[in-house]
Every structure is written in structure tokens, then in C-alpha cells.
Structure 1
Amino acid sequence: MKTKFSFRFLLMLFTIFMFIGCQDPSSHPPYEGPPKDHIISVAQAQEMYNAYSERRIPIIQEYEDSLLSDGSKFEPTRYAEYDLETIKQYIAFIEHEAKRANVSINTLRFYLSNYPNSTKFLNGDPVKYTRRNSIFVVPTTELGGENVGFSVEEINGNFSAVPINREISNPRENRGKTNANSTLQTNEAGFFMSNNAAAQGGGTTSLILNDGQLAPPPPTIDFGHNH
């Protein structure tokens, strides 16, 4: 009985060590110091923050205030933040999807954006921060000789990377329309229409990160006042 227990215990340990040993070492790159040429000083950050406060915030606030009839003041967004675990999970997610599609991620693009002046997006999803300035993050890869943002499409168990600005071809909607109108429809649809699985006839996974915590509120304290 004791021998059988010892054998099972050793087998369990062997399995655990084999699992640890087989993990991809590239998922934990060695520490090599700060990223070269990408770290700025606090003084530089403060100067850039102040320049945005002086050259952009008043313009945004004046325009948005002109659209409000109730006299309330619009608060321009100063930053968006994500907790570290969300960022780690996001990196793991897009690397997993890229591996399934047999492509490499080249860069992450941070797009400046605005939530619409509505309680819902066109697809019916709720708008988290109505009218607020925001950002969203798009991973890129090389497709057709260009570095483009991409999604991952699955058809019959096969995964492939597709550019997010790929034109959607729908014969019923496009019948009788000119090429110019079709192009205009694609441009107006933007990034998210290309991730419509029903329109594409397959399952498409978006890799775009959004909906972080926007500020203000709470007030910005790292670089002084919001404005």
C-alpha cells in the first residue's frame, strides 16, 4: 500500500515538473532593462502634459460646451487606465490568437477616439462614457506587405489573420450601388463592421482593447490640475 502511494506521489511530481518544463520560455522574456529610446523623464512628461492642457483642452471644452443646452461644463478626458492584470491578460490573449493565425504581432496602435453622443452603439451595445474622449488599442501584423491592424477569423477550424479595414461584400446591400457608395459605406463603418461575424459568414475575433477607466473623474493628480 505504501509502495503504491509513493509511486503515485512520484508520478504526480513528475507530471508537474514536465508541465513546468514544457512551458514556452518566450512567454517570460528575461529582464534587459528599460526599453531603449522609449522612456522619458518626468520633466518631459510634465512639459508634454502642460502643452496638451494649453493647446488642446480649451478647444475641446469650448466645442463640447457649445453643444450643451443645459449650461453644464464638459470635462475633457486626460487619461485612460487599465489595471496591470488586465494588460497582462490582453497581451496573453492577442499572442494566443496571433499564434493560432500563424502571424506575429508587430506593434500596438493606440487610437484616439470618442464615444458617440448616444446611450448605445449602432450594434446595440451600451456606451460606457457618452461623448467622452477615449483610446482603443489595435495589434498589428504584416498582411499583403503592409503593417495593418488585424482580427482573427475562424472558418471550419482554420484560423487566419484578416485586416480590420477589410471591405465587407454583401450582394444584397450593395446591389445597385456605385463603387463610390460602397467605399463610402466601408469607410463610415470603420473598424468594427469588419468584425461582424454574421456579415462575414464565419467567426471573427476582435483584438481591440477599449473601455478602460477614464479620468476625470477622479481628478488628475500626477501632473497637477486637469486643465
Structure 2
Amino acid sequence: MKNARKATTLLLGSMLLILGACHEKPKKDEEPHEEPQERVKPPKQIISLEESKKLYDNYSKNRVELIKSYEREENNDEKFEAARYASWDYKTIKQYIAFIEQEAKDAKVDISTIRFYFANYPDKEKLPDGQKVVHPRQNSIFILPTIKIDDLDYGFYIGEDGEAKLIKDAVNVKGMGGISKNDEKSYASFVPSLSAPPVLFKGQSLNMNHGNSGPPPNNDF
């Protein structure tokens, strides 16, 4: 009899445990705790919309008309529209920054600045690298990173040996820092031009162009 009672008690106890387990709420997976990111402060170089508009209008007044006049006289082109901007999609810019940081790290140098050079497309169908000239004779920009040497910034590329090399040594153009009076005229006459013959050197260029450029869009200024 005692054994039967013990068996009944054990059976009831087991059933209660099973029922209780069935009613237990499943534990939620703990969500990963993310530390709040510190807000990024605007660079001190940010300018107001009013100043942006003023700069845009200054270029319209002091540069665009001169460019149009030049094209009318030199190329008999009354319909020429001066380029006002160059752009790359955001992903390309991020890829470019990641790429030059990677190359600089491998070469064990620190990028000091990103330099934007004014440029001018040739009056031809194709560039020296074979790409199509979308807007002949229009202005553009190309980008390159610099490294600091003796307190001066110099554009660089990566040589065959993986070392950082100065562009000025590859293209035989002096660095743009510390210009002497005797060199002022030569520097003033040096305007980067995409119509120049390609420089023959082996290595990895870090210069970027082939963005989208054209006359002023009608949705900004």
C-alpha cells in the first residue's frame, strides 16, 4: 500500500513539473546592447547656404562668361555650356577613400590631404586611356592624396616596390609648395590638362577622375 502511495505521489509530482514546464514562457534572446555613438561635429570648414550661393554667383560672373567667350572665339561654338560641377556616386567616394587608405597603410605612410586639381578635357573623342570624352573641352577635376615631407604636401603614387613615390618625380613637375619668385611664372602657366600625353611609369596611380560633370543643374543654385 505504501509503495502504491509513493508511486502515485511521484507520478503526480512528475505531471505537475511537466505542466509547469509547458506553461513557462520561452526566454527571449537578449538583444545585443549597442553603445550610443557620439554625434559627429561639423567641420569648421562648413559654409552657409548664403555663402555657397555667393560663391556660385561669383563664378558665374567672373569665370563662366570668360569661358563662353573663349569658346566662341577659338572654336566658333555659340552653344557651349561651361561645366559647373563634377560628381561621383557616394559608394565610389567611399571605395576611393578606403582604397587610398589601404595603399598608404601598405606603404607605411600617412595621407596628409586630399587634393582636387582643376582639369580640362581635350577636344577629342577619346582620352589617352581609351575612355570616351563625354564633354569635350569642358572643365573637370581629378583627385589625388598627398603625404607631408618637410612640412610640404606632395601628391604620391605607389611604385612597383610598394613604396610611396612622389608624382613630381614621375612627371618631372616641381612640388607646389615653397614657390620662389623665379618659379612663379612657370607655376602660374602650369594648368593640369587631360590632353597631355600619358606619363609612362610602372606602379599604382591613386588619382581619380571620370566623374559626372556638366553645366549647372537646375535643382541647386
Task: Give TM-score, length-normalised by structure 1.
Answer: 0.64
Contact 2:120 2:192 in 1 (8 A): no
Shift of 1:132: 0.8
What do the CA deviations read for 1:6-51 (whole angstroms, capped 9, x no partner)?
Answer: xxxxxxxxxxxxxxxxxxxxxxx9643111x210000010011111
Amino acid in the other structure paired with 1:77: A
Change (3 A) 1:206 1:189: same
Change (3 A) 1:32 1:131: same
- Report if aligned partners of 1:118, 1:127 keep a CA contact under 8 Å in 2: yes
Contact 2:111/2:145 (8 A) holds in 1: yes
**For the residues of structure 2 that align with 1:141 and 1:39, how far apart are their CA atoms?**
24
How far apart are 1:127 and its partner, in Å?
A: 2.9
3-state SS of 1:110 partner:
strand
Structure 2 gaps of 5+ residues are 1-36, 173-189
Amino acid at match of 1:80: A
Aligned to 1:32: 40
CA–CA distance in 1 between the matches of 2:106 and 2:116? 23
Q: Say which SS state the counterpart of residue 85 (structure 1) adopts.
A: helix
In structure 1, C-alpha distance between the alignment counterparts of 2:214 and 2:129, rounded to whole Å: 26
Task: State percent identity of aligned pairs.
Answer: 40
Give the TM-score normalised by structure 2: 0.66
Match of 2:32 in 1: none
Corresponding position: 1:160 with 2:163 = yes
Counterpart CA distance in 2 for 1:111 and 1:149 is 11
Q: 1:128 to 1:153 in 2, by over 3 A?
A: farther
Hey, what does 2:200 align to over in structure 1? Answer: 196
Q: How does 1:1-227 map to 2 (within 5 A)?
A: 31-35=39-43, 37-69=44-76, 71-122=77-128, 124-143=130-149, 146-155=152-161, 159-167=162-170, 196-197=200-201, 203-216=202-215, 219-223=217-221
Deviations 1:107-142 (A, max 9, x none): 011111101122233455543431111011110002
CA distance in 2, matches of 1:106, 1:167: 20
- Shift in Å at residue 145 of structure 1? 5.4
TM-align CA RMSD: 2.9
Aligned residues: 167
